[in-house]
Amino acid sequence: MDIQLQKYYENRLSMCSSDAWKDLMDDVQAMLDATNRLDGVTPETLQYKQGEVSIMRWMLALKEVSEQAFQQLKENDASA
Q: How far apart are CA 7 and CA 22, in angstroms?
A: 21
Q: Report d(CA 41, CA 48) in Å as an integer.
A: 10
Amino acid 79: pLDDT: 86
Predicted confidence (pLDDT) per residue in 28-59, tens digit: 999 999 999 988 899 999 999 999 999 999 99
